[in-house]
Structure 1
Amino acid sequence: MNKPDFIQSTALRYFLEVVQRGSITNAAKHLHVTASAVSRQILALEELLEAPLFDRLPRGMRPNPTGDLLAAHARRASLDAAAVISAIDSAQGMHQGHIRIACTSGFAIDFLPATMAEFRLINPGITFALQVEKPATISQRLLNGDVDIGLTYSRTAQKDIYVNYAQAGSVVVVMRPDHKLAKRKSLTLKQMHGHEIALPGPDNTVRQLFDIACSNRQLAFEPVLQCNEFETLLNFVQYGGGLTIAGTTSVIHRQLREPLHYIRLNEPEASARSVQIQTLSGRVLSKPMQAFILSLKSRLQKE
């Protein structure tokens, strides 16, 4: 068997399981085969390619740079096969399909539920699976083939991630309408300093931009509450807890139903990230996925 034929065979499936499970034993359990069968496939791949694919560790296996390269190919091949099947199923229209999405918590509250519900009114045969993740995890989900579309805030380009659409993100300060600062059209950190504030955790991109701006202005804020749950921060503010910060897209729909006030944070650092619709670079997307990305883009442009 030549190399191109072999690296499209069952060996790839076994190889990917070892990459994802971290050991031959764990991969074999998940595949319901013997460990020796998995080991033979891995050794055959390495012999055919004339290169080791893993670093053998005391407690498992980790793909080396060559293994990472093959894993990227294997994931794309698997996803492309799924996309072809989906495309065949929807050749006469978008009668059926399944879209897997990963997003940060702010998009999961209003933006995505509204977009998915609106999309299904026109395409009732399309179903969704939504995972809420930290920003740093979303790209990995795409690379692993766990999801089809990522919706997140990002500050840097990432290898093997294709950005289908990006637009500048802004940050707002959230407060009750009766707060002392509520009559201002915009706010600086200096104007906010001294007021009670609740902040998201340090892995949140809004918090990261806020911290960078504070450092540049030599201002220190001591949050009265730090929490990684966005809903908790908004409820804390609504009950009189002071201020918090959020991305505009995360809160724009809430203005219609909750008595909270939103004022733009007027600091250059606040616009140093973008809202991005991401997919795996080089992946063939099904017709429903392409259509839903257009729906996401359209809604973002309106907000």
Structure 2
Amino acid sequence: MSVRILQEAAVRYFLEVVNTGSIADAATRLNVVPSAVSRQITRLESEFGTPLFVRQSRGMVPSKAGEVLAAFARRAQLESEQVSLEIDALRGETERTLRLACTEGFAGSFVPQAVAAFRRSVAPACFQVIVDTAAGVTQRVRDAEVDVGLTFSFGPAKDIHVAFSAPSPVLAIVAASHPLAHAAQVSFRELLAYPLALPDVHSTLHRLIDVYCSREGVACKSVLSSGTLETLLGFTLVSEAVTFSGELFVRPRLASGELIALSVPELVTSERAIEIQTLARRELPPLLHAFIAQLSADLPPPMRVVKK
């Protein structure tokens, strides 16, 4: 088979079907008729001599061969964009834009500070920041929608390269005035005697809390649920609620003493990690390498919370 076919529109049509899971939806996004997309998929399958999709009632899912081709197509797409941008930059026509996806907790202060520091000390690049769930961030990296993802993970993800990883234990957080604030140690079950303010069900924190509740054989019911960390922390500050967070996001408030991280033995061990993710086997441009190095340097190890 000639490699020429890998450089043609057929691969672009194929990748759109992978992303949408439907020939009709791909055709809409490509502004062509569905039969045109179908012909290109058939052509590719004929050239490769194998099915590229598994046809299901709920849509089209890439076969093993389709997954290999999709991974290649995404890397090629990113590298083509990079070459074009670098040539334009030589003519002084454009600045490099770095596309970052992150979870909500990073978006409030960590990412803005990292971007500002990078622009001051490395290069005046432009940035596009997308906020999504942990799984959504990883999917955007896999689909080549972004250059880098900053998220939480419970383990390896397909087609993802992990450029940085650090453990991210869960902390139980209360206000300084909370009855448990000065306890030397608190069991997870003791926390359940107080109102809980929990992240929404799509967050990795909520998944972990569900695991801890399951281990204790109890149900965890929240009096306040929110996808915004500031809402949870704000409620905790003015009530006897217990909330949960990664240490990085509450570090200033722990240092000031307005919030307290409880010593909860059941929460010490956590499978969750902070990750900086890129698309596997992609050749990263120097500017992206530099930004990843900046992010890695700005993700310090968790501070040990000392009880007063």
Q: Any idea what the Cα deviations from partners look like across 1:8-41, whole Å, max 9, x if unmatched?
A: 2222112212222333343333323344433332
Task: Spell out the pairing of 1:11-22 with structure 2 (5 A cutoff).
Answer: 11-22=10-21
Q: Is the 8 A contact 2:10 2:40 kept in 1?
A: yes
For 1:242, give the aligned amino acid.
A
Q: Which residue of 2 aligns with 1:26?
A: 25
Structure 1 residues 258, 29: CA separation in 2 closer, same or farther (over 3 Å shift)?
Answer: farther
Q: Which residue of 1 aligns with 2:63?
A: 64
Structure 2 residue 157 is the aligned partner of structure 1 residue 158: yes
For 2:214, give the aligned amino acid.
S
Structure 1 residues 59, 134: CA separation in 2 closer, same or farther (over 3 Å shift)?
Answer: closer
Structure 2 residue 235 is the aligned partner of structure 1 residue 272: no
Give the match's secondary structure for 2:44.
Answer: helix
Q: Any idea what the Cα deviations from partners look like across 1:29-60, whole Å, max 9, x if unmatched?
A: 33233444333322221221112223445686
Runs of 4+ in 1 over 6 A off after TM superposition: none
For 2:247, give the aligned amino acid.
T
* Cα deviation, residue 204, structure 1: 2.0
For 1:44, give the aligned amino acid.
R
* Cα deviation, residue 79, structure 1: 1.2
Q: Provide the alpha-carbon RMSD of the alignment.
A: 2.8
Structure 1 residues 218, 61: CA separation in 2 closer, same or farther (over 3 Å shift)?
Answer: closer
Q: Any idea what the Cα deviations from partners look like across 1:241-264, whole Å, max 9, x if unmatched?
A: 521111112222455789333335
* Cα deviation, residue 300, structure 1: 0.8
Aligned partners of 1:59, 1:226: CA distance in 2, in Å?
Answer: 31
Give the match's secondary structure for 1:271.
Answer: coil
Structure 2, gaps ≥5 residues long: 303-308
TM-score normalised according to structure 2 size: 0.85
The worse-fitting range, judged by mean Cα deviation, of 176-185 and 27-36 is 27-36
Aligned partners of 2:300, 2:254: CA distance in 1, in Å?
Answer: 18
Q: Any idea what the Cα deviations from partners look like across 1:78-118, whole Å, max 9, x if unmatched?
A: 112223344556689xx931111111111112221221122
Q: Is the 8 A contact 1:25 1:35 kept in 2?
A: yes
Q: Percent identity?
A: 37
Structure 2 residue 176 is the aligned partner of structure 1 residue 172: no
Give the match's secondary structure for 1:121.
Answer: helix
Structure 1, gaps ≥5 residues long: none
Structure 1 residues 185, 272: CA separation in 2 closer, same or farther (over 3 Å shift)?
Answer: farther
Q: Which residue of 2 aligns with 1:41?
A: 40
* Cα deviation, residue 165, structure 1: 0.8
TM-score normalised according to structure 1 size: 0.87
Give the match's secondary structure for 1:267.
Answer: helix
Q: Is the 8 A contact 1:186 1:264 kept in 2?
A: yes
For 2:180, give the aligned amino acid.
L
Structure 1 residues 60, 179: CA separation in 2 closer, same or farther (over 3 Å shift)?
Answer: closer
Q: Which residue of 1 aligns with 2:109?
A: 110
Structure 1 residues 269, 215: CA separation in 2 closer, same or farther (over 3 Å shift)?
Answer: farther
Aligned partners of 1:185, 1:129: CA distance in 2, in Å?
Answer: 44
Structure 1 residues 57, 214: CA separation in 2 closer, same or farther (over 3 Å shift)?
Answer: closer
Q: Is the 8 A contact 2:170 2:268 kept in 1?
A: no
Structure 1 residues 266, 115: CA separation in 2 closer, same or farther (over 3 Å shift)?
Answer: farther
Aligned partners of 1:135, 1:83: CA distance in 2, in Å?
Answer: 26
Q: Is the 8 A contact 1:90 1:96 kept in 2?
A: yes
For 1:64, give the aligned amino acid.
S
Aligned length: 300
Aligned partners of 1:302, 1:23: CA distance in 2, in Å?
Answer: 44
The worse-fitting range, judged by mean Cα deviation, of 33-42 and 120-129 is 33-42
Structure 1 residues 153, 25: CA separation in 2 closer, same or farther (over 3 Å shift)?
Answer: closer
Q: Any idea what the Cα deviations from partners look like across 1:239-294, whole Å, max 9, x if unmatched?
A: 22521111112222455789333335432564221111111110111222111111
Q: Any idea what the Cα deviations from partners look like across 1:116-162, whole Å, max 9, x if unmatched?
A: 12212234631111111112222211111111111111111112111
Give the match's secondary structure for 2:282.
Answer: coil
Q: Which residue of 2 aligns with 1:148?
A: 147
